[in-house]
Amino acid sequence: MIILCVCVILLPVCFTHPLAGWVSSPGHPGGYEPDIKMNWERCAPAGHTLTLSIVHLDLEDSHDCENDALEVFANGILISKLCGKKSTEQLQASVNPSLRSPSGGCLSLTFQTDYSNTEQHTGFRAFYTVQDIDECLDGDLQCSHFCHNYIGGYSCSCRPGYFLREDQHTCTVNCTEERFGEGVLTPPGSPGPYFENAQCTYTLSVEEGKQIILNFIGEFDVEDREGQCIDSLTIKTDSATFGPFCGKKAPSGFNTAARQVQVLFNTDQEGQNLGFSLTYRAKLMECPGTVTPDSVLSPQRTVYVVGDTVTVQCKTGYTFDAHLVKADVKHFESTCQTSGKWSPVYSCAPVDCGDPDLSKNDLLALTEERPLTTYTHNISLKCLTKFYQLSGHAHFTCNASGLWESHGESLFDEANSPICLPECGMNEEFFSFERVYGGERARLKQIPWQLLIKRPRRGGASLISDRWALTAAHVVDGHETKKLTFNGGMIDGQDNNAVIMETEKIIIHPDYEREVFGLARTSYDNDIALVKMSARVPLSFKIRPVCLPKKSAGPVMKGVMGTVSGYGGTGNKTKSQFLQYAHLEEYPKLSCFQSNLKVTDNMFCAGGDEADSCKGDSGGPLVLPMLGTGAPNKPYRLEGIVSWGPAQCGDEAFKGYYTKVQNYLDWIRETMEKN
| Residues recognised as catalytic | 474, 527, 618
- Rounded Cα distance between 418 and 247, Å, is 62
Tally Cβ neighbours within 10 Å of residue 593: 20
- Rounded Cα distance between 447 and 490, Å, is 9
SS3 of 146-202: the string is EEEEECCEEEEECCCCEEECCCCCCEEECCEEEEECCEEECCCCCCCCCCCCEEEEE
| Annotated binding-site residue? 150 | yes
Residue 588, preceding peptide bond in cis (omega within 30° of 0)? no
| Annotated binding-site residue? 231 | yes
Element (H, E) at 318: strand 318-320
Q: What is the DSSP letter of 482?
A: S
| Annotated binding-site residue? 208 | no
- Rounded Cα distance between 7 and 400, Å, is 88
Please, which residues have CB within 8 angstroms of residue 472's CB and are 6 or more apart in sequence?
Answer: 459, 527, 528, 529, 618, 619, 641, 642, 643, 659
- Rounded Cα distance between 334 and 289, Å, is 12
| Annotated binding-site residue? 511 | no
DSSP reduced 3-state for 111: strand
Task: Assess contact for 642 and 655: CB atoms under 8 A.
Answer: no
Task: Assess contact for 644 and 568: CB atoms under 8 A.
Answer: no
Tally Cβ neighbours within 10 Å of residue 273: 21
Element (H, E) at 669: helix 665-674
- Rounded Cα distance between 344 and 321, Å, is 13
| Annotated binding-site residue? 114 | yes
Strand locations in 356-473, DSSP E?
364-366, 378-383, 388-391, 395-398, 404-406, 409-410, 419-422, 435-436, 439-441, 450-453, 459-463, 468-471
- Rounded Cα distance between 675 and 669, Å, is 10
Largest CA distance in the chain: 162
- Rounded Cα distance between 524 and 644, Å, is 7
Angle at 576 between CA 584 and CA 441, to 5 degrees: 55
Which residues, listed in sequence order, are joined to residue 230 by a DSSP beta bridge? none
Nearest CA to 187 out of 171, 173, 206 is that of 173
| Annotated binding-site residue? 652 | no
The count of residues in the chain is 675
| Annotated binding-site residue? 328 | no
- Main-chain dihedrals φ then ψ at residue 667, nearest 5 degrees: -65, -40
Which residues, listed in sequence order, are joined to residue 232 by a DSSP beta bridge? 266
Task: Assess contact for 251 and 243: CB atoms under 8 A.
Answer: yes
Task: Assess contact for 116 and 51: CB atoms under 8 A.
Answer: no
DSSP string, 235-276: EE-SS-EEEEE-BSSPPPPEE-S-SEEEEEEE--S-----EE
| Annotated binding-site residue? 138 | no
| Annotated binding-site residue? 153 | yes
Strand locations in 347-425, DSSP E?
348-350, 364-366, 378-383, 388-391, 395-398, 404-406, 409-410, 419-422
- Could you tell me which residues are annotated as the binding site for Ca(2+)? 60, 68, 114, 116, 132, 135, 149-150, 153, 223, 231, 268
- Could you tell me which residues are annotated as the binding site? 60, 68, 114, 116, 132, 135, 149-150, 153, 223, 231, 268
